[in-house]
Amino acid sequence: MSETITETETATESTTDSAQTTSGESQERLREEWTHYRFDGPPKLSVEDLNVWYGDDHALKDVSMDIPEKSVTALIGPSGCGKSTFLRCLNRMNDRINIANIEGSVELDGSEIYDPNTNLVELRKRVGMVFQAPNPFPKSIRDNISYGPRKHGDIETGLLARLLGRDDKDEEQEIVERSLKQAALWEEVSDRLDDNALGLSGGQQQRLCIARCLAVDPEVILMDEPASALDPIATSKIEDLIEELAEDYTVVVVTHNMQQAARISDQTAVFLTGGELVEYDDTDKIFENPESQRVEDYITGKFG
Ligand SMILES: Nc1ncnc2c1ncn2[C@@H]1O[C@H](COP(=O)(O)OP(=O)(O)O)[C@@H](O)[C@H]1O
Ligand SMILES: [Mg+2]
């Protein structure tokens, strides 16, 4: 009898249509408490009831999650479950996709980023992004780094700088060196800063893209499968770097590599088919003792 009551009660919670999953997931009701991750301090990012549609395709469903600062949050899940879509919502990159319709709330330090008055240039300076395939500009290593700071006015140029006795070349050199050191690339490129960035190896190009992101002093760094195009040695360098960056920055990283998520992240969010956030908790808890059967099946390789 108690079974019947439980059935009725849970039926009123958010439900999922997992019957038509393409990847062999078992059926299961979502439970809100599985995604309520508790941590000390205010969230750096707070996402509430986020929904994204591409035309009629409902790609992200009612996702709510709080992301703590100065740590690594991993987003995992099978291909097509909405990880990149979610990540792009965090600095309004989806705004650039015409057919995307976004509803819900994302707060950065308590301020709504979807407020119509949000300055998108400023937002994307605070919340930077690194993509799957390294995408340096076809310019020198130095110019790749200084492009952002120049655009944002962090490198003083013109009359005012001259009046203040500042030489923008010195400022540029400082930012270039600082950023490349932070991205663990300085030693490898310090003697060829004026060479074209496209001459670097894939792993170096990706660290350059991370340096370019760091050059504008972001607070949050979003990374979408940043190592998936790299060989194991380059991958391990990026993984070390991500862990180091989390001492000063809030890092949110999408990966389809579960070992990678387990190695580098403090907390892990699991998205499954249909654009649902199913479980979000300490990385150890997710990998050792998840609440959701579907998450357990995914982690143990039963589907995905
Ligand atoms: N620019 C886009 N236009 C139309 N549909 C998209 C676009 N980007 C993603 N989608 C769709 O949204 C869903 C989630 O995609 P995505 O966020 O890329 O998932 P993941 O990163 O987990 O592989 C998929 O069904 C995908 O086809
Ligand atoms: Mg993706």
Quote the distance between the C-alpha of residue 207 and its chain's center. 16
CB of 95 sitting under 6 A from ligand 1: no
Count of beta carbons in the 10 Å neighbourhood of residue 264: 22
- Within-domain flag for 10: no
Domain count across the chain? 1
- Within-domain flag for 23: no
CB of 22 sitting under 6 A from ligand 1: no
- Within-domain flag for 12: no
User: What distance in angstroms lies between residue 154's CA and the mean position of ligand 1's atoms?
Assistant: 35
Shortest-distance atom of ligand 1 to CA 87: 17
- Within-domain flag for 233: yes
Q: Which domain holds residue 119?
A: 33-299
Q: Whole-angstrom Cα distance, residue 270 to residue 2?
A: 30
Residue 151: pLDDT band (50, 70, 90) is confident
Q: Nearest ligand to the C-alpha of residue 79?
A: 1
The pLDDT tens digits of the residues spanning 243-253 come to 999 999 999 99
Instruction: State percent of the chain over pLDDT 90.
Output: 78
Residue closest by Cα to atom 2 of ligand 1: 54
CB of 251 sitting under 6 A from ligand 1: no
Q: Any bridge partners for residue 297, and if so which?
A: none
Q: What was the pLDDT predicted at 23?
A: 55
Lowest mean pLDDT among 110-119, 152-161, 260-269: 152-161
Q: What was the pLDDT predicted at 167?
A: 63
- Within-domain flag for 39: yes
Burial 68-77 (b: 16+ CB within 10 A, else e): bbebbbbbbb
- Within-domain flag for 229: yes
* DSSP track, 99-142: TEEEEEEEEETTEETTSTT--HHHHHHHEEEE-SS----SSBHH
Kindly tell me if the per-residue pLDDT of 257 is higher than 60.
yes
CB of 97 sitting under 6 A from ligand 1: yes
Q: Nearest ligand to the C-alpha of residue 86?
A: 1
- Within-domain flag for 246: yes
Domain CATH number, residue 103 = 3.40.50.300
CA distances to 25, 89, 118, 135, 164 from 157, rounded to whole Å, are 57, 33, 26, 27, 10
Q: Whole-angstrom Cα distance, residue 140 to residue 145?
A: 9
Residue 11: pLDDT band (50, 70, 90) is very low
Residue 298: name the closest of 290, 167, 226, 101 by CA. 290
Shortest-distance atom of ligand 1 to CA 81: 22
Q: Which of 23, 85, 132, 273 to mutate to test the pocket of ligand 1 (most atoms within 8 A of CB)?
A: 85
- Within-domain flag for 9: no
State whether residue 191 is helix, strand or coil: coil
Shortest-distance atom of ligand 1 to CA 85: 17
Kindly tell me if the per-residue pLDDT of 29 is higher than 90.
no
Please report where in the chains the tokens 């009551």 appear, as a residue. 5
pTM: 0.89
Residue closest by Cα to atom 18 of ligand 1: 84
Looking at residue 177, the DSSP 8-state letter turns out to be: H
Residue closest by Cα to atom 4 of ligand 1: 54
User: What distance in angstroms lies between residue 171's CA and the mean position of ligand 2's atoms?
Assistant: 36
Mean pLDDT of 16-28: 55
The pLDDT tens digits of the residues spanning 175-215 come to 999 999 999 999 999 999 999 999 999 999 999 999 999 99
